């Protein structure tokens, strides 16, 4: 089995070694084996970190990710994932709506063309943003 030192792993997955140490301390990563006092991880850790990063991009909290990763295969990882995903979908829908509203606000500012924040009608009291 191939192993990666903490620096090599960090470079490969594009996160800082301190983040790897933190993930290990909160249980997202198993405790690294020590060789000459340095942490070494099995190559399979790359895949686990890819899952962590994907879940973070999907706005899962570290606690939710840990909950998913802590599920023993015999306790139904698929069932656990489904439950977490079903709870996350409405949060993602809300995030998408908020992001779309922000995108539209930026587009409206560009379309206005005044480029004067002190007198812009879009930023005046009583605009749609104040009513939301």
Q: Higher-confidence residue: 129 or 93?
A: 93
Return the bridge partners of 118, or none: none
Q: What does pTM read for this prediction?
A: 0.70
pLDDT at res. 68? 84
Structure tokens at 61: 């909290």
Q: What is the pLDDT of residues 18-55, one digit of tens each?
A: 999 999 999 999 899 999 999 999 999 999 999 999 99
Highest mean pLDDT among 2-6, 80-84, 110-114, 127-131: 2-6
Q: What is the pLDDT of residues 46-86, one digit of tens each?
A: 999 999 999 999 999 999 999 888 766 666 667 878 888 89
Q: How far is CA 94 from CA 12, 33, 98, 108, 130, in A?
A: 33, 41, 6, 21, 19
């Amino acid at each position: 089995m191939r192993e990666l030192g903490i620096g090599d792993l960090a470079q490969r997955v594009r996160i800082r070694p301190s983040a790897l140490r933190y993930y290990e301390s909160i249980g997202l990563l198993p405790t690294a084996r020590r060789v000459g006092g340095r942490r070494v991880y099995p190559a399979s850790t790359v895949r686990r970190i890819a899952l962590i990063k994907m879940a973070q991009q999907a706005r899962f909290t570290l606690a939710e990710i840990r909950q998913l990763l802590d599920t023993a295969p015999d306790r139904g990882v698929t069932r656990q994932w489904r439950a977490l995903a079903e709870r996350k979908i409405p949060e993602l829908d809300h995030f998408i709506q908020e992001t779309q509203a922000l995108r539209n606000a930026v587009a409206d500012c560009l379309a206005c063309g005044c480029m004067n924040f002190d007198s812009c009608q879009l930023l005046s009291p009583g605009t749609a943003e104040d009513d939301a």
